[in-house]
Amino acid sequence: MSLLAQLVGSARGVTARSLLALPRPVVRRLAGAPVVIDGRTLDPEMQLLLRLQRIEGPAVETLPIRKGRANVVSATAVAGGSQPIGAVTDRTIDGPGGPLTLRFYTPRGLTGDAPALVFFHGGAWIYGDLDSHDPTCRFLAEEAQVRVVAVDYRLAPEATFPAAFDDVWAAWTWVTEHAKGIAIDPSRIAVGGDSVGGGLAALVAQRAVGEEGIKPAFQLLIYPVTDVAGTSASRTTYAEGFYLTKAFMDLGGESYLRGDEDLADPRLSPLPQDVTGVAPAYVVTAGFDILRDEGKAYADKLRAAGVPVEYVCEDGLIHTFVNMVGVGRSAPKAVRRAAAALQRGLS
C-alpha cells in the first residue's frame, strides 16, 4: 500500500485541504514520480489530488447524472473552502424557459455603481450550478473588487441545445438593461466563465457585436470550450487521467446536442465564428487539460483579428483549478492572476 493510501485509509478526517497544506517536499513525495508530458511537468498538488480522486471513487462519467451533480457540489465544498464575501443575494428573472436565477456577489467595502462580471459556470452542459461555483465567484469578486453575477442556466439532458445559450444571453441582456438599478457601472461589465461556461461567455461576446445594447467591456475565459467537435491534439493527449476526460465531454455533448446538425450553429462553438470587434480578453488554459489547445487556438484567433488578448497557460495545472481556490497554493495563485487581469480589464 502506498504512503498516500495509508494516510487516506487510516484517517478519514484527512482531507485534500489538509494534505495540500503540508510542506511542499512532503506533497511532492506523496504525489509520486513526476509526470512530464509535452515538456510540461504536472504540479505535485494536482498530481496528489488526482491520486486522491482515483482512491476515493469511480470516474464521474460512470455515475448517474443526479449523483454526479451532487458529488460536484460536495467536492467544491472541500476544494473551494469558505471564501469571505461582503454580501450574496439571489434574484429570479423571467428566462426563455421559465424562471432563471441569478446570484449576486458584492465584495467587502464595495459601494456605489461598480464594475461587474457576468459569470457562467462549467460542467459539460450537464453539471454545475450556483453552488458548484460559489467559492469561485466569491474569490473572483473579492480579488478583483467587482460585483459578480452568476447565472443558473438550464442543464442537459433536461434542456437541450440551445437552452444554455438562450439562458445566458437572456441573463446578459437583463443585467445590462438593469445595470443602474443593481449598482453596476454599465460601461464596465465583463462576461466570463470556465470550461463550457467560458465557451458560452465567448458566444455572448460574439453575439453582442451585432446586437443593440451594451457590449461586454472584457472577457474572462477560463479553459473555454471553443470547439465542440473536439478536434485538437490535447483532446487525445489528455483523454483520461487528468480529471476532465474525453468520455465525460462526449457524454455532455451527447446529452446537450440534438444531432450533428447543431455543430454548425453559431450558438455552439466560438472558434469557427467571426470574432471581429469582440471585447478584449484574458484567456487562460491548464497545461494538463483536454481543452488546452482549443483555448489557445481561440486566443490566437482573437489576436489575428486585432482583438487585445492576453493568453496564459498554467502549465502544471489541470482542468477545474478554478474550483480549487480553497486548497493548496498553485490553483489559488492561478485564479488570483485571472482576477488581476479582470480588474485591469475593467479599470
Query: Contact 223/289 with Cβ under 8 angstroms?
Result: yes
Query: Contact 246/235 with Cβ under 8 angstroms?
Result: yes
Catalytic residue among 195, 234, 255, 330: 195
Told to judge if 289 belongs to the known catalytic residues of this protein, a careful annotator would answer yes
Between 3.40.50.720, 3.60.70.12, 1.10.10.10, 3.40.50.1820, what CATH number should domain 81-345 receive?
3.40.50.1820
Catalytic residue among 167, 289, 293, 330: 289
CA distance 225 to 79: 22
Told to judge if 133 belongs to the known catalytic residues of this protein, a careful annotator would answer no
In sequence order, the 6+-apart residues with CB closer than 8 A to the CB of 7 are 14, 19, 30
Write the CA distances from 284 to 89, 221, 234, integer angstroms: 28, 6, 15
Catalytic residue among 132, 166, 293, 319: 319
Backbone angles phi, psi at 128, to 5 degrees: 95, 150
Q: What is the pLDDT along the chain (347 residues), one digit of tens a residue?
A: 344 444 444 433 346 778 888 999 999 999 999 999 999 999 999 999 998 887 666 777 788 989 999 988 888 888 888 889 999 999 999 999 999 999 999 999 999 999 999 999 999 999 999 999 999 999 999 999 999 999 999 999 999 999 999 999 999 999 999 999 999 999 999 999 999 999 999 999 999 998 999 999 999 999 999 999 999 999 999 999 999 999 999 999 999 998 877 788 999 999 999 999 999 999 999 999 999 999 999 999 999 999 999 999 999 999 999 999 999 999 999 999 999 999 999 99
CA distance 83 to 66: 26
Told to judge if 269 belongs to the known catalytic residues of this protein, a careful annotator would answer no
CA distance 296 to 293: 5
Residue (of 260, 268, 319, 270) closest to 297 by Cα position: 270
Q: Is the peptide bond before 115 cis (omega within 30 degrees of 0)?
A: no
Would you kindly state where each structural domain of the chain is located, as residue ranges?
3-62, 81-345
